[in-house]
Amino acid sequence: MKRIVPLSRARQPDGFTLIEVMVVVGIMGLIAAMGIPSMYRLLQKQGMRKATSDVVEVCSLARARAILTGQPADVTFYPLERRLTAGGGAEAVDGSAPEGPGASNPSSALPGGTGGSAQLPDDITIEMLDINLAEYRESEWARVRFFPNGTADEMTLILRSTKNEWKKITIEPTTGLASVDEVTR
């Protein structure tokens, strides 16, 4: 004999109702909306983070250019202006300063927006700029050379922000790679 089960006790189909789905979507939306400001600050580079990123990017570009073209490339620092540019490696015969704001070789100047130059933010100061163990912080300009075999001049750059953040950017001479470290005082 077959047993008859009332409709109220019949097995309901598996799944969620539209209301349950809408409540979950609403909660997820609220959580995402609360996280947007944090994500924006994380993705937006400002201050010290922007400065260190820009310096490393310009140095990496010069290193890559030297390796790819087989010609020395350089990064020219203008410490008093808190500015730096990447350029080709052709140096003036008399060893004079680079001509113009671009690079030491105007024909190798990069178009704007390609990472070929950087301006440090107003709240960042250069505390130390040593290239091959010589201090250039108070100089009008200084040059770091990158060579086609991947090597480079030795460089140490220490930056300080108005928020008392300190960062040290170094270029390792045997690899030509830039690294960023915290400055411990």
Domain segments of the chain as ranges: 47-182
> At residue 80, what are phi and psi to the nearest 5 degrees?
-70, -25
- Full-model pTM: 0.65
Question: With contact defined as beta carbons under 8 Å apart, do 73 and 63 qualify?
Answer: yes
**CA neighbor of 156 nearest in space, from 119, 118, 183:** 183
- φ/ψ region of 44 (left if φ > 0, alpha if ψ in -120 to 50, else beta) reads beta
Return d(Cα 134, Cα 44) in angstroms, integer. 35
> At residue 91, what are phi and psi to the nearest 5 degrees?
-100, 150
What pLDDT tens digit does each residue of the chain (185 aa) get?
A: 677 666 565 566 678 889 999 999 999 999 988 888 877 777 666 788 888 999 999 999 999 999 999 999 999 999 999 899 998 644 433 344 444 333 334 334 333 334 588 899 888 999 999 999 999 999 999 999 999 999 999 999 999 998 888 999 999 999 999 999 988 76
Burial class (CB in 10 A: 0-12, 13-18, 19+), 128: middle
CATH numeric code, 47-182: 3.55.40.10
**CA neighbor of 102 nearest in space, from 91, 116, 82, 90:** 116
